[in-house]
Amino acid sequence: MKISLMDVGKLYGSDEAQVQALKPCSFVIESGEQIAITGASGSGKSTLLHLIGGLDKPSWGTIMYDNTDISDMNDNKLAEFRLRNVGFVFQAFNLLPELTAYENIILPALLDGKKPDKAHINNVIKRLDLWDRLNHMPGQLSGGQQQRVAIARALVNKPSILLCDEPTGNLDSKNSRNVIDLLNETANELNLLLVIVTHNNEIAQRYKRIINIVDGEVGGDI
C-alpha cells in the first residue's frame, strides 16, 4: 500500500495561540519502503507520523492510501481503517497493565471482531521470542520485552503499514539495536511499509531514505 501526502499541514490552537506544527509538505512513500523521519524534539516529526497514520487529521491537504483518502474520513471509519491497515509502535509501549502479554497482543484482533489467526499470532510470537513471557503482566517484563509485545500487538491484524514513534526511546543501547533489528527484519519478511520516527542519528542512518523536519518544515529525501 502506497501513501501519498499532498500539501499536508497542521495547525494547533487558534488566534494568537495558533501554532503551525507542520508546514505544507508533499511526498510519497512507496509500498514496502522503509524510511526514517528525524528532527529535534518539538520539530513536528510525531505530528507528521500521526497524520500519516490517521491518528490526527490535517488542517489542510490530502493523505491517500493507494486510492483511499483518509484525510476526509469520519472518526469511526478512520478508526476502522487504522485497525485493519496500520500497526503502531510507541515509545511508551502503551500496554494495558491489567492484561497479560498474550492478551495485549491479541487485543486488536478482538477489537476488530475477528477470531484471532492462531497460526499468524504464533509465528509473530516465535519471531519476537516471547513464548516464555505470554502469561506475564507488563509490569513483570523488561523494557525490551514490553516493546516486543507492543510490536507483536501491532502486527496481529496483518497490517501493510507499520508506524513507529521513537520505538527505542525508553530502551538502553543494546535493546535499542535489538528492537530496530526486529522491526527491519519483520518489515522485510512481511513486505511492510515501515516508518520510524527517531531523534537518534545512528538509527536514522540505517535507512536509505531519511526525511528531516526542522521547525515544522519537511526536508531531506522527500
Is the pLDDT confidence value at 127 over 90?
no
Q: Are 165 and 91 in contact (CB under 8 A)?
A: yes
Q: Residue 154's domain is classified under what CATH number? A: 3.40.50.300
Amino acid, single-letter form, for residue 13: G
Amino acid residing at 162? L
For residues 54-68, b (16+ Cβ closer than 10 Å) or e, as one string?
bbbebbebebbbeee
* Cα 18 versus chain centre, distance: 27
Strand order in the sheet with 34-38: 86-90, 161-165, 193-198, 34-38, 209-214, 217-220
Say how many domains are in the chain: 1
Q: What is the DSSP string of the chain?
A: --EEEEEEEEEES-GGG-EEEEEEEEEEE-TT-EEEEE--TTSSHHHHHHHHTTSS--SEEEEEETTEEGGG--HHHHHHHHHHHEEEEETT----TTS-HHHHHHHHHHHTTPPP-HHHHHHHHHHTT-GGGTTS-GGGS-HHHHHHHHHHHHHTT--SEEEEESTTTTS-HHHHHHHHHHHHHHHHHHT-EEEEEES-HHHHTTSSEEEEEETTEEEE--
Cα 219 to Cα 65, 75, 191, 212, distances in angstroms: 22, 30, 26, 5
d(CA 167, CA 197): 8
Host domain of residue 53: 3-220
According to the model, what pLDDT value does residue 216 have? 93
35 contacts 211 by C-beta, under 8 angstroms? yes
Q: What percent of the chain has pLDDT over 90?
A: 78
Query: What mean pLDDT is predicted for residues 108-115?
Result: 87
Contacts of 160 (CB under 8 A, 6+ apart): 1, 31, 85, 192, 193
Residue that wins the pLDDT comparison between 17 and 217: 217
Q: What is the pLDDT of residue 116?
A: 79
Q: pTM score, two decimals?
A: 0.92
Query: pLDDT by residue (tens digit) across 53-98?
Result: 999 999 999 999 999 999 989 999 999 999 999 999 999 999 999 9
